[in-house]
């Protein structure tokens, strides 16, 4: 900050207590203080500077990330940070690195799938980073379908070892982050074969590189898979390729919590229920939903601030042009994304609770809520990541031409975010899993089995199939009950319609395949209902702070009425609302935009992002955009000299008509 706040006028307009909203956004005062402290610590440390990141060639970029990761670990030790603080620090360093997989996948895999003995052996090494691990699951030819993996782990009772092997080219491990150049170890997923029988996919701890000189061990071929989308983005990560040529590991490096192979080569299931593994999936997807609100809020923060700085058209007499944030078309694209960021925040918070609940039940051997929790997290992962990826790009477009510059921060944010639509379950595949759950629920409605949790509304199916919206005027759309019933009726009717159409097929699987697109739409309707409901439930809590709750009500209204407008076809088609009522909803939506407008800047300030974290000239807190854009331009390598490198060889011969003899 250099003194002048060009957005001060905007900040003065706010009708609520920004500091209280910061706490709501963070989830608790503790979270707020933690994030605030650690983000500033990172922002103020030149060791974590992001300067020039998008201009570095791959090798330098990667080396710089190695440096940052080591430096972060050094600071974590020096400052004696707790595990929670250390995780926050890595988050605010904000650069994908091998450490993400080490802490986020390798360690949890051992914790979740290793026996107590295995945990005791491996975790201390991993916690001190004496070994660095990654998670080697996907293969060149196999992604979503884990059961199709080809890598084999064949037990050899002679030596009490597994032989890990890549039998085909398509069985090459492909994509695991941290694998290419850094990891010394990996949890490798392979088909367990013993006594000539294939027991399906299991995890194995395999050492890949020497702990002394880091050379790949004999039989291990390992490398980076090459450049990915974006300038910096995930190119800081060594996503890797890995092949095994009959690599031997001791039997006790099979992760044996759920199933074991004995010395004699007998495959035995333990008494630990397999469902426990689903708990991990719920956990991972829950964090993905939180990450979605992080990423979307960053993009929205940049775009909202710049929309208040940018002026265009509308000056009649040489005066200032209009701030683009005042255009309804801008609001109609931007404000629903701002509302979505908040909506995803709250549904993410609720998912954390759900995870705790599921975990407790699993420990008590109660698996009853697992299918619902699984469908719900799968669906929300799909919904929020799709909306966030699209939303970031929309925010970029909302910044006009300048959003295309790397210095806007938005190209990087997009490129680094989009993989979320594909990893941990492809978003379309996940929607179909939700749809299966919905169809199963519908088919059991007559059975007396009461649907629970997020699917409880199906228990009121008779009402939901018949009811009609009683909205008569614009303001009726502010009633939470009117909104929730609309989303429930739409979701229920779409599911039932799919179920009826499925019934027309002799072979249900064939029907499911044929109607997949409709089923995916029904799943989206169900998931949107969840987000809307959780937002409304949040508002039923006590929320302190002047004007805070009112602002959230406006955001909730925008989120739900925007969806209602966008998916008008569903609501009209299922007959729950009339086109008159749809048009009233749209009028209400417009009115909410006007209510939001004066609070927009403060609502993004509430995310409490440092300029370091945003890394965007357009999104600067002080709004001092143009001088800084101008300044930044001169740092490009092309500006190191007035005359371009290549002028003498390629431009001069052109201008001088001497191309015929030029060597090109």
Which residues are annotated binding-site positions for FAD?
A: 138, 177
Shortest spacing between CB 333 and a copy of itself, in angstroms:
8
Q: Tokens 């995780």 appear where? A: 87
Residues of this chain, 434-463, that bind a copy of itself according to CB under 8 A: none
Helix axes 579-596, 328-363, angle to 10 degrees: 100
DSSP for 572-590 reads: HHTTSS-HHHHHHHHHHHH
Shortest spacing between CB 17 and a copy of itself, in angstroms:
30
Residues of this chain, 272-311, that bind a copy of itself according to CB under 8 A: 311
**Residue 424 known to be catalytic:** yes
d(CA 419, CA 396): 18
Shortest spacing between CB 538 and a copy of itself, in angstroms:
27
d(CA 77, CA 75): 5
**Of the two residues 227 and 456, which places its CB atom closer to a copy of itself in the complex?**
227
Q: Residue count at the site for a copy of itself (CB under 8 A)? A: 140
Strands (DSSP E) contained in 122-207 are 133-136, 152-156, 161-165, 173-174, 185-194, 197-207
Report which of 247, 270, 262, 256 is spatially closest to residue 153, judged by C-alpha positions: 247
**Of the two residues 26 and 589, which places its CB atom closer to a copy of itself in the complex?**
589
Binding mask 507-526 toward a copy of itself (x if CB under 8 A, else -) reads ------xxxxxx-x------
96 within 8 A of 139, measured Cβ to Cβ: no
Q: How far is CA 515 from CA 200, 444, 521, in A?
A: 30, 20, 10
Token pair for 55: 């201009």
Would you count residue 82 as binding a copy of itself (CB under 8 A)? no
d(CA 393, CA 340): 14
Would you count residue 407 as binding a copy of itself (CB under 8 A)? yes
d(CA 275, CA 281): 10
**Of the two residues 159 and 315, which places its CB atom closer to a copy of itself in the complex?**
315
Would you count residue 574 as binding a copy of itself (CB under 8 A)? yes
Q: How far is CA 15 from CA 162, 297, 338, 394, in A?
A: 65, 20, 17, 27
Please select the residue that binds a copy of itself; options are 50, 534, 567, 620, rule is CB under 8 A: 567
Shortest spacing between CB 56 and a copy of itself, in angstroms:
8
Q: How far is CA 82 from CA 78, 86, 124, 345, in A?
A: 11, 6, 16, 24
Would you count residue 433 as binding a copy of itself (CB under 8 A)? no
Shortest spacing between CB 584 and a copy of itself, in angstroms:
12
Residues of this chain, 179-208, that bind a copy of itself according to CB under 8 A: 180-182, 184
Would you count residue 586 as binding a copy of itself (CB under 8 A)? yes
Q: Which stretch binds a copy of itself (CB under 8 A): 11-19, 174-182, 247-255, 532-540?
A: 174-182
Would you count residue 44 as binding a copy of itself (CB under 8 A)? no
Binding mask 477-496 toward a copy of itself (x if CB under 8 A, else -) reads --------------------
d(CA 599, CA 18): 10
Shortest spacing between CB 312 and a copy of itself, in angstroms:
5
Shortest spacing between CB 332 and a copy of itself, in angstroms:
4
Shortest spacing between CB 211 and a copy of itself, in angstroms:
6
3-class SS of residue 315: coil
Residues of this chain, 4-33, that bind a copy of itself according to CB under 8 A: none
Would you count residue 595 as binding a copy of itself (CB under 8 A)? no
Residues of this chain, 220-249, that bind a copy of itself according to CB under 8 A: 223-231, 234, 238, 241
**Of the two residues 2 and 271, which places its CB atom closer to a copy of itself in the complex?**
2
Q: Which stretch binds a copy of itself (CB under 8 A): 187-195, 287-295, 375-383, 424-432?
A: 424-432
Would you count residue 393 as binding a copy of itself (CB under 8 A)? yes
d(CA 379, CA 372): 10
Residues of this chain, 133-162, that bind a copy of itself according to CB under 8 A: 138, 140-145, 148
Would you count residue 124 as binding a copy of itself (CB under 8 A)? no
Q: Which of 424, 521, 553, 649 is catalytic?
A: 424
Report which of 226, 152, 156 is spatially closest to residue 189, judged by C-alpha positions: 152
Would you count residue 397 as binding a copy of itself (CB under 8 A)? yes
Would you count residue 647 as binding a copy of itself (CB under 8 A)? yes
Report which of 264, 241, 128, 231 is spatially closest to residue 179, judged by C-alpha positions: 241
Please select the residue that binds a copy of itself; options are 82, 130, 360, 443, rule is CB under 8 A: 130
Helix axes 410-417, 275-309, angle to 10 degrees: 170
Burial class (CB in 10 A: 0-12, 13-18, 19+), 67: exposed
> Mind telling me the catalytic residues?
424
């Amino acid at each position: 900050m250099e003194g002048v706040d060009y957005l001060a006028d905007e900040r003065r307009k706010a009708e609520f207590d920004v500091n209280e909203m910061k706490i709501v956004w963070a989830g608790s005062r503790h979270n707020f203080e933690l994030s605030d402290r650690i983000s500033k610590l990172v922002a103020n440390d030149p060791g974590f500077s992001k300067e020039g990141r998008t201009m570095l060639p791959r090798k330098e970029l990667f080396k710089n990330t190695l440096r940052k990761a080591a430096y972060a670990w050094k600071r974590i030790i020096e400052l004696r940070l707790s595990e929670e603080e250390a995780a926050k620090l890595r988050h605010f360093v904000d650069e994908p690195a091998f450490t993400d997989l080490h802490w986020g996948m390798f360690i949890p895999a051992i914790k979740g799938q290793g026996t107590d003995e295995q945990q005791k052996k491996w975790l201390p090494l991993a916690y001190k980073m004496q070994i660095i691990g990654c998670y080697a699951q996907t293969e060149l030819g196999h992604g979503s379908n884990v059961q199709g993996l080809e890598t084999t782990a064949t037990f050899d009772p002679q030596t009490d070892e597994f032989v890990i092997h890549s039998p085909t080219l398509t069985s090459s491990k492909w994509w695991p982050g941290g694998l290419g150049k850094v990891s010394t170890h990996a949890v490798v997923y392979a088909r367990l074969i013993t006594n000539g029988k294939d027991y399906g996919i299991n995890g194995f701890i395999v050492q890949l590189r020497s702990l002394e000189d880091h050379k790949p061990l004999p039989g291990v071929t390992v490398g980076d898979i090459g450049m990915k989308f974006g300038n910096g983005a995930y190119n800081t990560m060594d996503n890797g390729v890995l092949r095994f040529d009959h690599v031997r590991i001791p039997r006790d490096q099979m992760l044996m919590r759920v199933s074991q192979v004995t010395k004699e080569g007998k495959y035995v299931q333990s008494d630990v229920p397999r469902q426990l593994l689903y708990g991990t999936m719920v956990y991972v997807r829950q964090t993905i939903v939180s990450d979605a609100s992080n990423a979307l809020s960053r993009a929205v923060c940049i775009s909202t601030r710049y929309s208040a700085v940018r002026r265009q058209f509308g000056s009649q007499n040489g005066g200032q042009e209009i701030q683009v944030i005042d255009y309804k078309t801008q609001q109609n694209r931007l404000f629903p994304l701002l509302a979505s960021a908040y909506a995803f925040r709250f549904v993410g918070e609720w998912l954390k609770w759900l995870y705790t609940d599921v975990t407790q039940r699993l420990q008590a051997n109660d698996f009853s809520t697992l299918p619902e929790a699984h469908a719900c997290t799968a669906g929300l992962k799909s919904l929020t990541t799709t909306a966030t990826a699209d939303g970031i790009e929309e925010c970029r477009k909302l910044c006009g031409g300048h959003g295309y510059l790397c210095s806007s921060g938005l190209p990087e944010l997009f490129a680094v975010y989009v993989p979320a639509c594909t990893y941990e379950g492809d978003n379309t595949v996940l929607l179909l899993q939700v749809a299966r759950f919905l169809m199963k629920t519908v088919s059991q409605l007559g059975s007396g089995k009461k649907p629970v949790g997020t699917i409880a509304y199906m228990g009121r199916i008779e009402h939901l199939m018949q009811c009609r919206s009683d909205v008569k005027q614009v303001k009726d759309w502010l009633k939470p009950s009117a909104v929730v019933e609309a989303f429930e009726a739409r979701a229920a009717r779409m599911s039932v319609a799919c179920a009826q159409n499925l019934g027309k097929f002799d072979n249900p699987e064939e029907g499911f395949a044929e109607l997949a697109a409709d089923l995916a739409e029904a799943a989206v309707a169900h998931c949107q209902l969840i987000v809307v409901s959780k937002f409304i439930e949040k508002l039923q809590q006590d929320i302190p702070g002047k004007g805070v709750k009112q602002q959230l009500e406006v955001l909730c209204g925008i989120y739900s009425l925007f969806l209602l407008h966008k998916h008008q076809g569903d609501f009209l088609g299922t007959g729950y609302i009339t086109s008159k009522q749809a048009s009233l909803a749209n009028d209400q939506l417009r009115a909410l935009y006007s209510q939001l407008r004066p609070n927009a800047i403060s609502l993004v300030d509430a995310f409490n992002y440092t300029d370091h974290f945003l890394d965007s000239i357009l999104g600067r807190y002080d709004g001092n955009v143009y001088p800084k854009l101008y300044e930044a331009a001169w740092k490009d390598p092309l500006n190191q000299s007035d005359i371009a490198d290549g002028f003498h060889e390629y431009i001069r011969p052109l201008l001088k008509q001497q191309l015929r003899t030029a060597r090109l």
